[in-house]
């Protein structure tokens, strides 16, 4: 919508109306050393035509890469109908109002989304959504601490094979809550969480155990074993899952003898395109026993006095309703637009479409892995079954190879060494259903050329 700035006269009138002489006095509670006076880094103002020209020039610098990145954000085919419908005015700008029952369409969409996510994860209840997968895990940890009343330790175990961004966000959000997060080491050969890593905690008070399936390296974990360990030791199991993988793998609600208490993850693969770092949305589901600790809003289906179907807020967590110290997170609008896209995407594909997508992703990643590992010196790092991602070790400097391939228009993988120093010259690669055999052939050809480039080993 157009932006109409206030004139100096408008500002003066508003200040006079509230009895403040100037802007500085209006914000006098801000310490002087925190005020940014020097704006030399801010360029001079442009006219509308000049700003448009600048943005066109910036846009022209973008280019479409042949993308073999994954690591939590995936390039999937999105049917054209998804965003044709999502960007219609009645969806694009619609948010649940405070009197939510007045917006039946929005409530119905959220209800259908929650039903689909509960079915996909094999659990009883889903909230509307959260900001992203990493914050969804942090919320799941906070939820587990509230829900596990038999535990007083606030001690949560995380696998070292969890996405590093998820672990960082969880630390940031839980640090002020007195929650202790401990990393469990993985087996260096398989890339899986080592069950023996749990032995030192067998007699400790553990509040929750996080299980990533598949893990950051794409490795399929023995989720049943870890879910049962949590259940046997009084901890709540939290599953962090890829929704595409759930079309093939056992849902977290069925892990072990009783399933997990909470499942969460990143919803971006469900119809949300990759676009300059976002947007994303997190999903969070749980067993019914923990529903009152679930942050956000829950929509239910009912009938009115005339027997007509209707939708209403069944539960909502709002700190205005209770003491702030007792509240769950206040998530009102959720990631409504992304949820709309995901609901349409899942409706169009259905269970079989999701399954075929997952199978195609798995097949193309295996084809990429086989072709790349056939090059001299390239090897697969881990020997366990995987989905989506595969870690490859290169015989030369991996950072130089990735830079060289990027210059040739290929986003070739994610360098693992900054997060895992022991994985020197290792890259994480991924091929979804969007990659053709010709794309894989080009990738391997350019990879071979970059490995053979003089100076690549330095």
CB 236 within 8 A of CB 218: no
Give the confidence band of 128 by pLDDT, cuts at 50, 70, 90: confident
Q: Integer distance in angstroms from the first to the last C-alpha of the chain? A: 52
By residue count, the chain amounts to 458
Give the confidence band of 318 by pLDDT, cuts at 50, 70, 90: low
The tokens 């994860």 sit on which residue? 121
CB 393 within 8 A of CB 426: yes
What integer pLDDT is reported at residue 363 of this predicted model?
Answer: 97
Q: How far apart are CA 249 and CA 234, in angstroms?
A: 26
Mean pLDDT calculated for residue range 420-428: 96
Q: How far apart are CA 25 and CA 396, in angstroms?
A: 61
Pairwise pLDDT comparison (326 vs 243), residue with the higher score: 243
What integer pLDDT is reported at residue 129 of this predicted model?
Answer: 86
* Burial class of 84 by CB neighbour count within 10 A (0 to 12, 13 to 18, 19+): exposed
Instruction: Quote the tokens at residue 175.
Output: 């640090």
Q: pTM of the prediction?
A: 0.86
Instruction: Quote the tokens at residue 333.
Output: 């609008």
For all residues of the chain together, what is the average pLDDT? 90
Give the confidence band of 349 by pLDDT, cuts at 50, 70, 90: very high
199-235: per-residue pLDDT in tens? Answer: 999 999 999 999 999 999 999 999 999 999 999 999 9
DSSP 8-state secondary structure symbol assigned to residue 204: S
Give the confidence band of 124 by pLDDT, cuts at 50, 70, 90: very high
Q: Measured between alpha carbons, how far is residue 35 from residues 26, 45, 102, 384 in Å?
A: 13, 21, 43, 54
1-56: per-residue pLDDT in tens? Answer: 355 678 889 999 999 999 999 988 888 888 887 876 677 788 888 888 999 999 99
**Backbone angles phi and psi of 265, in degrees to 5:** 170, -175
Give the confidence band of 332 by pLDDT, cuts at 50, 70, 90: low
Q: How far apart are CA 134 and CA 151, in angstroms?
A: 24
In terms of CATH architecture, what is 66-74+350-452?
Alpha-Beta Complex (3.90)
Instruction: Quote the tokens at residue 414.
Output: 């994610």
User: Is the per-residue pLDDT at 333 higher than 80?
Assistant: no
Q: The sheet that has 389-393: what strands, in order across it?
A: 379-380, 389-393, 426-430, 414-415
Strands (E), 259-416: 262-266, 282-286, 297-303, 309-316, 379-380, 389-393, 410-411, 414-415
CB half-sphere exposure, 26, CA atoms < 13 A: 12
Mean pLDDT calculated for residue range 354-370: 97
What integer pLDDT is reported at residue 1 of this predicted model?
Answer: 38
In terms of CATH architecture, what is 80-345?
3-Layer(aba) Sandwich (3.40)
Mean pLDDT calculated for residue range 99-117: 82
Pairwise pLDDT comparison (324 vs 406), residue with the higher score: 406
259-307: per-residue pLDDT in tens? Answer: 999 999 999 999 999 987 778 999 999 999 999 888 888 888 999 889 9
Question: Which residue, 357, 339, 372, is CA-closest to 127?
Answer: 339
User: Is the per-residue pLDDT at 319 higher than 60?
Assistant: no
Strands (E), 83-221: 125-126, 155-159, 180-184, 208-213
Give the whole-number percent of the chain exceeding pLDDT 90.
71
Mean pLDDT calculated for residue range 96-105: 63
Q: How far apart are CA 263 and CA 253, in angstroms?
A: 8
Pairwise pLDDT comparison (331 vs 58), residue with the higher score: 58
Q: Domain ranges in the chain?
A: 66-74+350-452, 80-345
């Amino acid at each position: 919508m157009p932006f109409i700035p206030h004139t100096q006269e408008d500002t003066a009138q508003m200040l006079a109306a509230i009895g403040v002489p100037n802007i500085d006095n209006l914000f006098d509670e801000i310490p002087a050393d925190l005020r940014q006076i020097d704006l030399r880094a801010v360029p001079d103002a442009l006219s509308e035509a000049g700003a448009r020209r600048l943005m066109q020039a910036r846009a022209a610098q973008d280019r479409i890469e042949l993308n073999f990145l994954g690591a939590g954000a995936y390039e999937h085919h999105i049917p054209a109908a998804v965003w044709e419908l999502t960007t219609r005015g009645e969806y694009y700008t619609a948010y649940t109002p405070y009197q939510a029952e007045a917006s039946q369409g929005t409530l119905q969409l959220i209800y259908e989304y929650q039903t689909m996510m509960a079915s996909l994860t094999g659990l009883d209840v889903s909230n509307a959504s959260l900001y992203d997968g990493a914050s969804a895990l942090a919320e799941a940890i906070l939820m587990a601490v509230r829900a596990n009343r038999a535990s007083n330790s606030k001690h949560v175990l995380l696998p070292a094979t969890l996405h590093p961004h998820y672990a960082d966000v969880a630390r940031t959000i839980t640090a002020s809550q007195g929650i202790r997060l401990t990393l469990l080491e993985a087996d260096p050969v398989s890339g899986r969480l080592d069950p023996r890593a749990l032995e030192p905690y067998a007699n400790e008070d553990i509040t929750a155990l996080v299980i990533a399936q598949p893990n950051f390296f794409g490795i399929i974990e023995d989720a049943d074993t870890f879910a049962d360990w949590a259940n046997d030791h009084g901890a709540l199991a939290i599953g962090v899952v890829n929704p595409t993988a759930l079309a093939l793998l056992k849902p977290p609600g069925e892990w072990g003898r009783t399933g997990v208490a909470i499942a969460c993850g990143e919803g971006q693969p469900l119809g949300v395109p990759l676009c300059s770092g976002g947007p994303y949305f997190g999903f969070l589901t749980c067993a019914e026993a923990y529903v009152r600790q679930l942050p956000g809003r829950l929509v239910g289906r009912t009938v009115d006095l005339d027997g007509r179907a209707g939708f209403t807020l069944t539960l909502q967590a709002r700190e205005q309703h209770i003491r702030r110290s007792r509240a769950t997170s206040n998530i009102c609008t959720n990631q409504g637009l992304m949820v709309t896209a995901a609901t349409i995407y899942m409706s169009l594909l259905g269970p079989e479409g999701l399954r075929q997508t997952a199978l195609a992703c798995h097949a193309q990643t295996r084809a990429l892995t086989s072709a790349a590992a056939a090059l001299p010196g390239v090897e697969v790092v881990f020997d366990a079954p995987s989905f989506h991602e595969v870690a490859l070790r290169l015989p030369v400097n991996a950072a130089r190879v990735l830079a060289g391939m990027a210059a040739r228009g290929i986003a070739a993988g994610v360098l693992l060494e900054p997060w895992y120093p022991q994985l020197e010259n290792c890259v994480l690669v991924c091929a979804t259903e969007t990659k053709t055999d010709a794309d894989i052939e080009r990738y391997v050809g350019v990879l071979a050329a970059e490995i053979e480039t003089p100076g690549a080993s330095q």
